[in-house]
Structure 1
Amino acid sequence: MTRSPRFFGFLYFFIATVFVYFAIQQNNRTEGWDFFTILLMSVAAIDYMIGFRYFSLASKQKKK
């Protein structure tokens, strides 16, 4: 059973949003930008990038 690229796009966007939420909580707890906060934001940025790529792939498949 294969899933559509749009499903994975939404999945990665959800995961990235969770990482952003955790990064905000970490920033409020430590009152500054520490290594762990930057790491969480980096992972969220990568997840958003992957989500955009899946949405791009879905639109390319739709055009075919």
Structure 2
Amino acid sequence: MRQTPLFSGILYIVLGLFFTYFAVQDLQKNGEWGIFTYLLVILATFDFGNGIRMILFHFKIKTIQKNKK
């Protein structure tokens, strides 16, 4: 079974939400920004960016396929 860009994009968004949640939890636990918190925020940023890009790519493919028919 092939994985569509839409599914990948949603998966990246969910991972970004998890990393954001864990970053907030770590910040509340420690009370200050540590290296682990920064790492989680960076990972969340990359995941959100990739998720949005994959979802937009999915719709671009759909538009191209629709115009070919």
TM class by shorter chain equals over 0.9
- Other-structure match for 1:52: 52
1:12 positional shift = 0.4
- Structure 1 runs of 4+ aligned residues shifted over 3 Å read none
Give the CA deviation at 1:3: 1.6
Deviation of the 1:55 alpha carbon: 0.7
Aligned length: 64
Superposed displacement of residue 37, structure 1 = 0.4
Task: Name the counterpart of 2:16.
Answer: 16
Query: In 1, Cα distance between the equivalents of 2:56 and 2:13?
Result: 14
Provide the rounded CA distance (Å) in 1 between the counterparts of 2:6 and 2:59: 9
Report the identity percentage.
34
Structure 2: tracts of 5 or more residues without a match:
65-69
Question: SS in structure 2 opposite 1:2?
Answer: coil
Larger radius of gyration: 2
Aligned to 2:41: 41
Q: Over the residues paired in the alignment, what is the CA RMSD in angstroms? A: 0.6
Q: Given the alignment of the two structures, is residue 29 of structure 1 paired with residue 29 of structure 2, yes or no?
A: yes
